[in-house]
Chain A
Amino acid sequence: MYKALVIGGSAGSFQVITRILSSLPKNFPLPVLLCLHRLKHVRSGFVEALSIKSTIPIVEPFDKETIKPGKGYLAPANYHMYIELNKRIALSTEEPVNHSRPSIDLTFETAAQAYRDKLIGIILSGANRDGAYGLKKLKQAGGLAIVQDPNECQVKTMTEASLKLTTVDHIFTTEQIIKFLLNLK
């Protein structure tokens, strides 16, 4: 019944996201929209690093690229990644939001507008508050909100900020997130 999965993460999320992407079935039924902060000088190589372990193909999408199930879309360095209502990617070089470009808030908010109650959102470990507002928007649009268990996070700021702002559906450890995703039809 779900149509898309959106994941946001920052400091301490790389190993978690790698673990998740390596555990998905090859025929995972949803597109995976990834908005992950990276260090400023890490402009390239990130998508390759994720691809090594991922079971599904991961791309840094082009502007206007059509979103397809079973594929991962990583917000490119230094661009905001929006989801248009016609389920295409839109990129933008507008100012950073909360010091972040890509901004997790913007990807989540626009994904929520596009997929409404057919969207699953997951916030992972991170060192700033980006994503909290986006997850709230996702929840308000009827989506399913999941936050990584702060006790398990390398850095708790992002998950705690999200939990403060929104009553989420699940607080999951990495293994619970994987189990949940494997059960999706």
Chain B
Amino acid sequence: MVLSDQEVQFFVNTIKNSSGYDFSEYSDKSLKRRLQKILLDNNSDLLTLINKLKTSKDFLEKTVKDITVNTTELFRDPQIWQTLKYRILPKFAENRNINIWHAGCSTGQEVYSMMILLNELGLLDKAKIFASDLNTDALDAAKKGNYKYRFNIGYLDNFDKVIKENPFNYEEYNDVPYSKYFKIDKVSDSIQMSDFLRQKPIFRQHDLVQGGNLYFAKFDLILCRNVIIYFKYSLQNKVFKLFHEHLYTKGYLVLGMHETMLGEITSKFEKKGQAYRKK
């Protein structure tokens, strides 16, 4: 099934007119692909889908969830977590509080990665963790902190790289057991995050398109990884402005491995790898 740009536009307009969601500044290619997948999964043509969107609020909410991409991993890209561990988080060690916002946290693996890292650095108690996503199903999964073991098994290597090893000193090895943070049950194929981690974050639904500050707080660190790749340049810039506004001076914004800031806004940050520090 191949959709035309006009058909995708028709879909976007329907959603916009029937709800508060606006996908008009989402990246064309992935939006079209997601829509094609939804039509295929529903065994539906576009007109039928549009009619259902107009008449059923529940169906619209479900479709919005299906449009968003929800892939995330524990300690995805270990080098970024090593940067956080050795270069960024130690800068906040003397703070009374450390405010961290995971914008677009999806099912929460990186929220747990952050808390584990903070705990190893002795900073978890002074940290306030905020995590938001558009997709409430993803947020529910994040609150549960229960993940498929087999699917995530490769990421335990990432845990070892970030938590146990020191890339600057090969003789250093901290044998932190996984059980300190999560319980692995191979039979039921599950990784269950410990309660002391689960209870910590404040999870809230938030749409980056709408902007606004949902926590009425400023942040020392914002992580927004592999979210803005689904946005057009114009929306990316709006989101960067939002982050800039809600970061403390000298606070950090960390993006995905292959995401970058372009245009005028770059002058307001100092870039070091994937970390942008507010000037």
Nearest CB of chain A from residue B227's CB, rounded to whole Å: 10
- Given A91-B229, A92-B229, A110-B29, A62 and B260 contact (CB-CB distance below 8 Å): yes
Residues of A within 8 A of B262 (CB): 64
Q: Kindly state the separation between the CA atoms of A183 and B14 in the bound complex, as whole angstroms.
A: 50
The answer to whether A92 touches B259, judged by C-beta atoms less than 8 angstroms apart, is: no
Chain B residues with a Cβ closer than 8 Å to the other chain, count = 23
The answer to whether B154 touches A93, judged by C-beta atoms less than 8 angstroms apart, is: no
The answer to whether B71 touches A94, judged by C-beta atoms less than 8 angstroms apart, is: yes
Residues of B within 8 A of A63 (CB): 228-229, 256, 258-260
CB-CB nearest in chain B for A92? B30
CB-CB nearest in chain B for A66? B262
Nearest CB of chain B from residue A105's CB, rounded to whole Å: 11
- Given A63-B258, A76-B257, A82 and B29 contact (CB-CB distance below 8 Å): yes
The answer to whether A94 touches B29, judged by C-beta atoms less than 8 angstroms apart, is: no
Nearest CB of chain B from residue A157's CB, rounded to whole Å: 24
A79 within 8 A of B: yes
CB-CB nearest in chain B for A94? B69
Residues of B within 8 A of A64 (CB): 233, 236, 260, 262
B33 within 8 A of A: yes
The answer to whether A62 touches B30, judged by C-beta atoms less than 8 angstroms apart, is: no
Most A-side CB within 10 Å, residue of B154, B229, B233, B236 = B229
Bitwise, B27-69 to A at CB < 8 A (1) or not (0) is 1111001100000000000000000000000000000000001
- Given A63-B229, A64-B233, A92 and B29 contact (CB-CB distance below 8 Å): yes
The answer to whether A85 touches B28, judged by C-beta atoms less than 8 angstroms apart, is: yes
Closest 10 CB pairs of A and B: A82-B29, A62-B260, A63-B229, A93-B71, A92-B30, A91-B229, A93-B226, A90-B29, A94-B69, A76-B258
The 23 listed contacts between A and B (C-beta, < 8 Å) are A40-B154, A41-B157, A44-B79, A63-B229, A63-B258, A63-B260, A64-B236, A64-B262, A65-B260, A82-B30, A84-B27, A90-B30, A91-B258, A92-B27, A92-B29, A93-B71, A93-B226, A93-B229, A94-B30, A94-B69, A94-B71, A95-B71, A106-B33
Residues of B within 8 A of A (CB): 27-30, 33-34, 69, 71, 79, 154, 157, 226, 228-230, 233, 236, 256-260, 262
